[in-house]
């Protein structure tokens, strides 16, 4: 049923934009009801598709009304036919839409509400209502059914074929009238996309603690720290999302306008079907602090529940000094938490200065983050975490997500926000991919993502109107990552790596770019940015060595610590092997490392297989692959149960092959290299895959350039690290190495690296890989020995793998 709307309430309802009302001649005296009403109308001075400006005069601009009558673009106060027609009567949604389409830009309108007023004084003719099928989410509150996006295919791609609302058609970001520390109350229907996240602790007590933004009928965008990590310990389990809330202390929210009580619809509480956290999220570093919530039900839009717009490719990011808005129920000056929705305008803060400020707190600000605020007592605080930072660009766009800050409302300390434009590819791909309860219907030229349980009538309407045109084309990169076909300029990782630098690309890189091209009508590449790769399906090579050019090895995702290094990502360096020994007393311990080089062999140091302790009865009993944290049975990234590694794989030893030139009793550790043949084939997955060995034409890393070591050895604080770590340090010039190790002969089959205080690989990492990134990871060395650990000016010594390729090939078999 089409609900009526009182005119006095019309201008509380989101229409065309969100502005304070302009200057008008009634200010300074008592206003009539129609003037108050017009003041609340907030007609946005934009040109609609229905408006046709034909000529300009000194006084007024001529225009065409929604019913194709010639008219004048004048103030709504001067158009008696429109005011008389709509005043003191009940308005349908169609009449309200007519008013919206009547907006125009006058010659002297500025920010005044101007409408196209019929020149002959004729009354408005409003089109009859269009029935909206049950369950269909309208693009304007209770309005007519949405029609299909048309024309620009690129726009359709950005909107995921209709899954996201279209800002160009005012399908989102429409609001009149944010917590907000130092803020003020919002209007009852202002910012209708704000979501409240509810948590339940172990006692069964529930509370709201974070915010979010509704972006379509099924998804809420929020901060990753609002769904995993510390919030789970402090607040409990995330159980539901509330939409349309204005006053948390009242069941029905009402305000009084001109002695008339106006009440909102009851809030909508929705369960959570699934949580999608950005794979790069790091709790301590606040990196990639963004997450999606898929609601358990589709939300029906109302005057108080509407989506915000997401930034498209033509979105203009805010510059320093521009004012954006935040909204929420967080801390205010008067109370620890506001009962009423608040709002606050804050200025965008200079990015370079923000980086400098937070560097003093050992926090890194990236280009994927935005800083805003920094005025005393004006800020978004803890209660607004995950909430929106919004920019008005004809409609409201979600430019940022409240992430963190240095306390709250401190002078010259801006808050830090996740910059949403940097995560549009991930957001779009996650929405398309997240549908465990969705199926994908593919027709010629049309891809429709729909719920499994879809009303037949709705499906027919979707097909008839082609309401959803086509989703972005999914693809697979040559290095086995999932992606989406995009123009190069819309793929920052590829654009910045290969096109925004003056370096000469290698043949491998040029070949990679060729293979990266999508088979689409337009020139696009397969872009992995923001797309979660569930399974890379690495190739298991058991006969010979894997081919780097076919990306059969050296693959890892993201993210560095051994001494002075950093934690690795959970699936980083998936070739790393732990060698486990059993003493004569039966005690087991991991004491060496190694590298998986194909589906059956591990490369390690000879001294890990031939040494005095082994002669005295200690035995190598197990090789473990896919380990990340030796203290946990199941390894999960930052404790997130939805981002866990496959179980580690343990292997017996079928054969140990020590280089014949190695002398375990000699002083030099020459030819310190060995192979282990496992007792069965390895199961390849995202957490277990081989490293590349140097190709025959491999040029060694030049002195001064960094190489990377990985392992579970000394960390400087404890004997062994329970978590896999990595460190970067430079290669040492051979002549300098010879001077340092003047009592030990360092031969051409060895290389030196390190010598930086506090950064080195240590004894616990013996046998592990020394690697260099040459488009894919190549193992350049095997950790052999050093002078104590991480001493300034004392490099470690590594076996040079490229010198032993012939020996390796001779000793591996199927």
CA-CA distance, 276 to 222, in Å (whole number)?
Answer: 10
Q: If you compute the radius of gyration of the chain from its CA atoms, what whole number of angstroms results?
A: 32
Tokens matching residue 622 = 């197990």
CATH 3.30.1640.30, the chain: domain bounds: 62-118, 474-533
Q: List the catalytic residue out of 482, 560, 635, 672.
A: 672
Q: What is the mean pLDDT of the chain?
A: 74
Q: List the catalytic residue out of 607, 670, 671, 714.
A: 607
**Model pLDDT, residue 308:** 92
Pick the CATH number of 62-118 from 3.30.1640.30, 2.60.40.10, 3.40.1350.10, 3.40.50.300: 3.30.1640.30
Q: Is the pLDDT confidence value at 110 over 50?
A: no
* The CATH fold of domain 549-630+645-811: Thrombin, subunit H (2.40.10)
474-533: which CATH architecture?
2-Layer Sandwich (3.30)
pLDDT tens digits along 222-265: 999 999 988 888 888 999 999 988 887 787 778 776 667 778 88
CATH of domain 167-171+180-434: 2.40.10.10
CATH 2.40.10.10, the chain: domain bounds: 167-171+180-434
Secondary structure element (H or E) that encloses residue 211, with its range: strand 206-216
- What integer is the mean pLDDT of 458-484? 58
CA-CA distance, 608 to 662, in Å (whole number)?
Answer: 12
Q: Is beta strand 323-328 parallel, antiparallel or unpaired with respect to 601-604?
A: unpaired
Q: Which residues contact 148 (CB under 8 A, 6 or more apart)?
A: 162, 465, 466, 467, 468, 469
**Model pLDDT, residue 806:** 93
678 or 471, greater pLDDT: 678
pLDDT tens digits along 159-211: 766 778 888 777 787 764 422 333 467 677 788 899 999 999 888 888 888 89
pLDDT band at 132 (very low <50, low <70, confident <90, very high): very low
Most confident of 477-491, 673-687, 774-788: 673-687
Of 711, 736, 733, the C-alpha closest to 723 is 711
Residue 766 annotated among the catalytic residues of the structure: yes
| DSSP structural state of residue 449 | E
pLDDT tens digits along 714-727: 434 445 668 888 88
Three-class secondary structure of residue 488 per DSSP: helix
CATH 2.40.10.120, the chain: domain bounds: 549-630+645-811
The phi, psi pair for 590, rounded to 5°, reads -85, 125
**Model pLDDT, residue 624:** 95
CA-CA distance, 525 to 516, in Å (whole number)?
Answer: 5
Q: List the catalytic residue out of 209, 766, 784, 802.
A: 766
Q: Which of the residue ranges 32-46, 354-368, 483-497, 574-588 would you say has the lowest mean pLDDT?
A: 32-46
- What integer is the mean pLDDT of 306-318? 87
């Amino acid at each position: 049923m089409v609900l009526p709307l009182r005119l006095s309430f019309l201008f509380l309802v989101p229409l065309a934009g969100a502005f304070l009302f302009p200057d008008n001649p009634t200010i300074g005296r008592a206003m009539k009801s129609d003037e108050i009403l017009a003041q609340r109308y907030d007609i946005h001075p934009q040109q609609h598709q229905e408006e046709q400006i034909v000529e300009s005069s000194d006084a007024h601009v001529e225009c065409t009304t929604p019913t194709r009558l010639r008219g004048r673009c004048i103030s709504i106060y001067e158009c008696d036919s429109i005011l008389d027609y709509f005043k003191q009567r009940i308005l349908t949604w169609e009449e309200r839409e007519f008013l919206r389409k009547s907006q125009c830009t006058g010659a002297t309108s500025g920010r005044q509400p101007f409408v196209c007023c019929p020149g002959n004084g004729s009354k408005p003719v409003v089109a009859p209502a269009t029935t909206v099928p049950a369950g269909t989410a309208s693009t304007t509150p209770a309005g007519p059914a949405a029609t299909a996006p048309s024309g620009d295919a690129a726009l359709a791609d950005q909107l995921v074929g209709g899954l996201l609302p279209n800002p160009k058609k005012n399908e989102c970001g429409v609001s009149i009238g944010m917590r907000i520390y130092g803020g003020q109350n919002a209007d009852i229907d202002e910012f209708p996309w704000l979501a409240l996240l509810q948590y339940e602790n172990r006692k069964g007590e529930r509370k709201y603690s974070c915010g979010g933004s509704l972006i379509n009928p099924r998804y809420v965008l929020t901060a990753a720290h609002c769904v995993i990590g510390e919030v789970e310990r402090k607040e409990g389990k995330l159980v539901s999302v509330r939409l349309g809330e204005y006053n948390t202390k009242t069941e029905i929210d009402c305000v009084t306008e001109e002695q008339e009580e106006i009440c909102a619809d009851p809030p909508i509480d929705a369960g959570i079907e699934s949580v999608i956290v950005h794979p790069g999220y790091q709790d301590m570093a606040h990196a990639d602090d963004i997450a999606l919530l898929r609601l358990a039900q589709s939300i029906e839009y109302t005057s108080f529940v509407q989506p915000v717009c997401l930034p498209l490719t033509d979105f203009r990011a805010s510059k320093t000094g521009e004012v954006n808005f935040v909204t929420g129920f967080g801390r205010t000056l008067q109370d620890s938490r506001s009962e009423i929705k608040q709002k606050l305008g804050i200025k965008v803060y200079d990015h370079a200065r923000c980086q400098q400020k937070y560097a003093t707190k050992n926090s890194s600000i990236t280009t994927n983050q935005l800083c805003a605020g920094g005025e005393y007592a004006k800020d978004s605080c803890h209660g607004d975490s995950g909430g929106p930072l919004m920019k008005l660009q004809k409609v409201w766009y979600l430019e940022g997500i409240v992430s963190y800050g240095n306390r709250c409302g401190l002078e010259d300390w801006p808050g830090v926000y996740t910059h949403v434009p940097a995560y549009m590819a991930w957001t779009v791909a996650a929405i398309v991919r997240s549908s465990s309860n969705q199926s994908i219907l593919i027709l010629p030229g049309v891809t429709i993502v729909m719920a499994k349980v879809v009303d037949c009538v709705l499906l027919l309407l979707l097909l008839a109107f082609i309401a959803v045109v086509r989703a972005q084309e999914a693809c697979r990169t040559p290095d086995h990552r999932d992606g989406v076909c995009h123009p190069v300029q819309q793929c920052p990782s590829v654009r910045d790596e290969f096109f925004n630098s003056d370096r000469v690309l290698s043949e491998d890189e040029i070949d990679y770019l060729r293979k990266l091209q999508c088979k689409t009508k337009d020139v696009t590449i397969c872009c992995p940015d923001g797309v979660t790769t569930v399974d890379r399906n690495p190739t298991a090579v058991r006969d010979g060595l894997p081919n780097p050019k076919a990306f059969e090895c050296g693959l890892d995702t993201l993210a560095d610590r051994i001494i002075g290094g950093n934690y690795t990502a959970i699936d980083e360096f998936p070739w790393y092997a732990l060698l486990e020994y059993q003493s004569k007393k039966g005690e087991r311990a991991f004491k060496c490392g190694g590298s998986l080089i194909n589906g059956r062999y591990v490369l390690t140091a000879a001294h890990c297989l031939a040494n005095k302790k082994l002669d005295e009865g200690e035995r190598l009993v197990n090789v473990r692959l896919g380990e990340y944290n030796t203290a946990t049975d199941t390894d999960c990234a930052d404790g997130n149960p939805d981002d866990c590694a496959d179980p580690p794989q343990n292997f017996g030893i079928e054969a140990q092959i020590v280089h014949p030139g190695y002398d375990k009793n000699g002083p030099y550790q020459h030819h310190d290299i060995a192979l282990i043949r496992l007792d069965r084939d390895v199961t390849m997955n995202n957490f277990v895959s081989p490293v590349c060995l140097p190709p025959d034409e491999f040029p060694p890393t030049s002195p001064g350039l960094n190489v990377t070591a990985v392992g579970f050895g000394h960390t400087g604080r404890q004997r062994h690290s329970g978590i896999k770590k990595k460190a970067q340090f430079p290669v040492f010039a051979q002549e300098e190495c010879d001077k340092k190790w003047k009592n030990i002969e360092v031969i051409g089959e060895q290389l030196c690296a390190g010598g930086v205080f506090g950064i080195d690989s240590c004894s616990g990492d013996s046998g592990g890989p020394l690697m260099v990134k040459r488009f894919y990871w190549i193992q350049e060395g095997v950790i052999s020995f050093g002078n104590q650990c991480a001493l300034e000016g004392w490099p470690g010594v590594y076996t040079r793998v490229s010198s032993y390729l012939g020996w390796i090939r001779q000793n591996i078999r199927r």
